[in-house]
Amino acid sequence: MSAKTQRIIGWVLSGLIAAFLIGGSAVPKLFLTDSPDMTERLAEMGFTADVMKKIGIVEVLVAVLFVIPRTGFLGAILVTGYLGGAIATHVRLQDTKFIIPLVIGILVWVALGLRKPAVFRLAFGSE
């Protein structure tokens, strides 16, 4: 596979990850936390609607940092940390949905490595 094709795949994957983090996860935290169903679920997780909105803001910020070329590496680190918190919450609740943030975290680094091959060289050595 050519370097250009790898970069394109990396950017497409990065865009999909950012869209999922922002549209599929952060937006509900920011705008849907006042519904009775969501309030009940948040209480089960140990969060208030106010805290969840702040978490949604953090999620948007780290996703944006991830897709900006100059801050992509920092964004990947921050997304990984954010997803670690999501994993910990799911595990604490004995919820098998912890797999979703785990897979997304792996895909973040794969996407960044495809965008910037130096990431793979740093992680796996350059022989």
d(CA 123, CA 43): 39
- Between CA 84 and CA 70 the distance in angstroms is 23
Report pLDDT digits (tens) over 45-55. Answer: 888 888 989 99
Query: Can you tell me the mean pLDDT for 5-21?
Result: 96
Which of the pair, 35 or 102, is modelled with greater confidence? Answer: 102
CA 78 – CA 127 distance, rounded (Å): 29
| pLDDT for position 99 | 95
**pLDDT at residue 127 in the model:** 53
| Residue 17 pLDDT > 80 | yes
> Which residue's entry shows tokens 């497409």?
12
Residue burial 99-114, b: 16+ Cβ < 10 Å; e: rest: eebeebbeebbbbbbb
Q: Which residue has the higher pLDDT, 49 or 13?
A: 13
Provide φ and ψ at 48, rounded to 5°.
-100, 165
Domain ranges of the chain: 3-122
Question: What is the reported pLDDT for 88?
Answer: 93
Long-range contacts of 121-126 (CB under 8 A, 24+ apart): none
Average the pLDDT over 108-118 and give the result. Answer: 95
